[in-house]
Amino acid sequence: MLATAGIFTCLILIDFMVYDLVILIKGFNMYDKNNVFAKILRGEIPNKTVYSDDNVLAFYDVAPRARVHVLVIPRGEYTDIFDFTQNAPSDVQMAFWTGVRNTVEKLGLRDNFRTVANTGRGAGQSVMHFHIHIMSDERFTEDF
Ligand code: AMP
């Protein structure tokens, strides 16, 4: 009886240790299926779509910080540019950048736009689903 309780306790401890190890290794890339962009992709939150295909969705930023401010996101579950470039198959990565290009062309910004990919909370990433900001604004000629 005592031995059974001991084995049971050991198994629970091992289970906790394995869980901690997984969090430690995977922690940075844990994808939250309830982030706002995941909800947009599932159609649970509306968006103003600019461009859409099988791999990519591009829509206007809800709080624009430039005259034109659009976000491009892959449909797959990737937290940031690191996760995306490390774990997305190469054809998916290629399709994403083609989607960025198609979005820019649709916006008519061929030679007048800026791309930004905030990565990590320390750099201001607030939505943990990989995205590229496409921005265009007259004042960019004076900004750095
Ligand atoms: P970042 O701070 O780089 O993670 O960018 C996230 C961006 O998502 C911010 O610029 C937000 O204004 C924008 N955003 C948040 N919620 C929504 C939404 N529901 N629709 C469109 N853009 C959003």
Each residue's pLDDT tens digit, 49-94: 999 999 999 999 999 999 999 999 999 999 999 999 999 999 999 9
Q: Which atom of ligand 1 is nearest to the CA of 59?
A: 21
Query: How far is the C-alpha of 34 from the C-alpha of 63, rounded, in Å?
Result: 20
Residue 127 CB less than 6 A away from ligand 1? yes
127 CA to centre of ligand 1 in angstroms: 7
Assess whether the C-beta atom of 121 lies below 6 angstroms from ligand 1: no
Q: What pTM did the predictor assign?
A: 0.84
* Residue in 123, 139, 121, 119 with CA at minimum distance from that of residue 69: 139
